[in-house]
Structure 1
Amino acid sequence: MANSLQSLKNRRFRISTQLYSGIGGAVALTVAASLVGWFSFNQVGEAQSDVNEGAIPEMAAAFEIAQYSGTLVVAAPRLTAAETPEIFEEIYVSIIEARESFDQQLAVLESSEGTDERSQRIRAHSDTLTANIEAIKDQGERMFELAVARENLREQIIDLRNHLERLVVSAIDDQYFYTATGYRDLGTPPAERSEHLSEEELERYRHLSELQADANIATELLVNAFTHSSAATIEPLRERFEAAASRIERNMAVLQDSPFHAELIPAFDELYTLGTGEESGFVLLQEELRLAENQRDLLAYNSNEAASLIAEVDSLVIAASNSAQEATDASANAIFTGRTLLLSISIVSIVGAILIAWLFVGRILLSRIQRLSDWMHRMAEGELELEVEIGGNDEVTDMAGALEVFRRHALEVQRLNLVEKLAEDLKTKNDELESVLDKLRKAQDQIVMQEKLAALGELTAGVAHEIRNPLNFVKNFSEASEELLEELHEVLNENDEQLSEDQQDLIQEITDDLNSNFERIKHHGERADRIVHDMLMLGRGEAKHQDTDINNLLDEHARLAYHSVRASDSDFQLDIKEDFDPDAGVLKVISQDLGRVFLNMVNNSCYAIDEKRREKAAAGVGIKDYMPTLWLTTRRKEDSVEIRIKDNGPGIPPDVMKKIFDPFFTTKPTDKGTGLGLAMSSDIIREHGGAIRVDTEVGEFTEMIIELPLTPAEETAEAAG
């Protein structure tokens, strides 16, 4: 019993006990405020019910009517201003929707008390506006139809005018030529002078001239009619057209026996129809201008009706606003009463809250929690040596004790983490050393391979120099032999009488064969000399841009690469398919560098194809089922030349594709590749202002695509400078 009393005595110092006491007081004040609020809200609800059920719907309907009446007022001008039938129809649909909404709101207003007379006046004005809008809509549709017909008629008149001009001018020229020369047709003999210079022919020429003038007048009258804006001005134009048409008919009657009558009469009949028919230009224009005048009258009438409608709607809105204001004032009085009572309770609550915050929260709770928070922040920053000490007998003291236990455990964990971090750092350094050591081994193997290639290059250069001497002898002696054959041919020509015809034919055949053989020797000798020259130039550091036949350069280096592979593997076979564009032509490039690019790419293709061939052979697939093939293609584009080197090898996997242009990256063994070929090729193409990309499918093919500009990069840079 004594322990229970002591526990209750100590519990009064606990934060929870003090908080429950404060919350209980707040609940009591809240209940009192709720009762006052319920009473106030009940009074406000009754006032708001009057507003919501009476004044607000009436005012909302009045405002909606004002809004939609504005739409009806501007509807007629909008319809007349529409430029296309689509816009016209869209405006009319929006007007119909506004009219339906207007009727709905007006029905709401008519159901309210005290608005019958005003609602009837508003409906009468709106019905009048709607009827006028329907009339304008019907006339507007007809106006669009007339506009289309007018445009078609205008084009028809212009075409007819041009056609008449050609026919009449041609007839006048033919008549004038006949009168002057007597020739009706160039293929017939001329008429007698008395016939082609007769009074009848001169009269015919005069009537044709008058016909031309009247035709021009008639077509001009039809064209000018489209520029008039008043129906009263159309009738004089019609009378002038009919006068011109009468003169045309008289002249056509005189020309009835002429050769031109049959050709001219259909065109003039069409002119009569366009000017005097039931759907002639004058008729269409008069109807269009009449409709325009009717629309102007309707717009003027609509303007008066719109003013009356707006005045009625404005008075309706004012009346609805006054009614809503009266209901709102009643609601405001009820709210003021409730607000006064709630304010009194709130003042009592605020004073109590201030006392609780100052005496309990500020002096007892927050200061100790702040000290505890400072210790926690210092621990978070790593200061774990400071002990936590807070006096008291409440929950804050318990938290301080728990924080002290946490501090001691954190010190132990910190020491363990330091040991683990040191071990992890040591493992990372060991992994880095292993990686660097592996890279050093690879670099050493590549350096050895490069030294071997350098020695092989020097040996190749020496051999190439030695080969050029016998090649020069072959070339020179073939040229000398050709000259000797020419001299022999001259001697035989001088003594051909001593030889029979069969002997001469035999000698001629032999000399032709020798000439052909010498030409082949000279051609292949020069080709071998170029290959040797390119091999020598591969080792030289500096070279200049020069005009180079791209097709020949690609062909020579592709075959050089192929024969190089054949020299090391006699079983290697390759079908080279060439598709060269003759328009690829000559480009200004560094032929030695570009030759290296072609050589590297064809070498890579040969290696890939040979690897796939060996895999197929190991699987029992013969040369008939898989033939190593290399496609060489050139195409001239608008401002560049495209070179494609495609093989049917194993393709390039995606993970390898990302690194093929990286220096020292290779999939070949160390003794077969250095990883510099494609990196060097990419640099060379970029220095030429071109681009290189790869298209591949694993297991099917690899295609290297090179684009070189028609204008060298250095010339483009100079022109830009």
Structure 2
Amino acid sequence: MTETTGPHPAEAENNTEAENNTEAESNTEAGQRPALHRRISTQLYAGIFGALALTIVAGVVSWISFTNISKSQNRVNEESVPELAGAFRLAELSNSLVAAAPRLTTASPSQFWTISEEVRTVRQEFKKNLELLDSENPEDVHVLGIKESARTLEINIATITSDMPHYYNLTRQIEVLQSQIPALHDQAAGIILPAIDDQLFFQVTGYRDLDSEPVDASTRTSGDELLLYRHLNALQADVAQVSELMGSALIASTAEFVEPLQESFESVEGRIRISLASVAASEQMVPELRSAVNELLALGRDDQSAFKVSVDRLEIIERQNELLAQNQVVAVELLDEVRALVEAARDGADQATENSAQTITTARILLVIISIIGIIGSGLISWLFVGRVLLRRIGRLSGRMRTLAGGDLEEEVEVSGRDEIAEMASALEVFRRHALEIQRLNLVEELAQELSSRNDELQSVLEELSQAQDQIVAREKLAALGEVTAGVAHEIRNPLNFINNFSAASAELLEEMNEIVEEFSDDLTGEQRDLLEEINQDLNDNLERIQSHGNRANRIVQDMLLMGRGGGDTQLTSINDLIHEHSLLAYHSARAQDPDFQVTLEEEFDPDMGQLEVVPQDLGRVFLNFVANAGYATNKKQKELIESGSSEANDYSPTIVLRTRRTDESAVLIVKDNGNGIPPEVAEKIFDPFFTTKPTNEGTGLGLALSNDIIREHGGTITVNTEPGEFTEMVVELPLTRSSS
């Protein structure tokens, strides 16, 4: 776009002053020095003064007519134009106040007073302009509407400004609590954990310390000692839970989320009091334990508790958001009132212009009737002065107004002379500059919005890059795990081969022994023969079991090698067999880690499922993860029921249901458990890399993330159906035909 250039405002002003000085010099030379010699009406009257008597009458009529025109013009200049300028200035200042409110809410403590002072200056100027507009039009309905919107805007800004110091204070309190809570938790844990270790050492060995004599087994395994050990463990878990509840309250996003956290805190506090009372009854009570725990609990009880401080801060944030939204609405209402005021002023100006036109027409008719004799002189005056000077300037001014209405704001309005037309041109130039400034402000806002959009895109790309980096790290860990697994599996295979080989050789030796026994069967009694046959049958049965379990162990080793290796080529695989084998592998793995682990595996396989083209190692890893997680959930729920002494513990049976179903378009594979389920806020994150609800030493948070990647590589999807406290169901849907990509 070609930029239209014009004279610099300073140059234009200098040119105008030069023209005015020239006019003043000409008037001085002509000897005309009336007080109102710059007025158009005065110039017309002076021109007609020397005419005939009829021309004098015509001049009087002209004087009256043009006086009315001057009054109309003055009304436009003195009322409509200032009213327009004041309204536009109010709109500009209201936009500044609305824009300053978010700056106040996001300012740092060091920046707040600087921004607050800027806002105070804008508010004072806004109030001054509003009072000026109100003094000129006290009863105007649009001015009253502007005052009401301005009052609401002022109250909102004042509320936000007064809330911010309290908000900063609450923020500092939250920072202090976020450092105190972990410190007090670590202090309490540093006392509880040694006490647990000492109690466990005493129950196992009977020694309270290395210098004392051991206590007999009946005393150290008594119910009181076991109950003390249990209370110490419960106290450790509850102290960790209250720390986590207070930490969650401090980072909560809404005040409604804090109330259930506080209720949970009060419940856990009751349990802690019970545990402390039980531990206090023992001689092994650590004196500093009660003090450390009470200090931690105090952070969640008094008026400056983590829950109260978090709720107060969130309420301030919500109130500020409501005020910011209300400011936007008030700004729109204020602009609407300003537009209505501008329209009213414009209508007044149009009416004044129409009256002026009517007055001019009437004056011309009277001048023609009265000034028949002096028509030539009057015609010359009208042609030379009115036509060539006034109307040409008015035409140029009117044309410039039309170009401004068409959107051309770059070219400056030409201002010449010091009469009413010059004042109109000056007012139009002020309007043009204000409109150009508003246009530039809109362009700045558009650029700011585009920059914000670019920043959001860059943030999204950064998050994707971070996820990719996490996946690379996870795959490197799995590769290292594969190497270790391969080495262990190789070492296990050697004794397995010996077991299988020697069991087969033993079976052959039994067959040879049977042949020898048959040769000497006549020398044996019936009882001896039956005894030998029974021993032979038992040995054969034992060898078959040895071979069966050896083969089974060999398959497990093979699966471990495949799992550790990862990836591989696609091949037709029986889905039912794959799920069966890996569910057993997960079960025995859990049994190896926890001998008390028990779960019932129920298989509801579709007999028509058949084979699918998949990567068996990868897909097996998925169901190994699913079954392992399901077993962990059911085992955890059973232990919690037992520890709580609930009557449901006897009725609860840990169960995992494995179900397959083949449809016309896909294969649906389901793993369902009757554990504690997954809370909604956790269910949204379970597929994020390194996200886990297990303790640090029991889970890495990679299993489900890798499982999700594997299913997507197979062209399928994973859906989680869960009911907290009831069940969790992992549903995998795979296409019957694998895509070539």
TM bracket, shorter-chain basis: 0.3 to 0.5
**Structure having greater relative contact order (Cα 8 Å, sep ≥ 6):** 2
- Indicate the structure (1 or 2) with the bigger Cα radius of gyration: 1
- Provide the TM-score with structure 1 as the length reference: 0.42
- Provide the TM-score with structure 2 as the length reference: 0.41
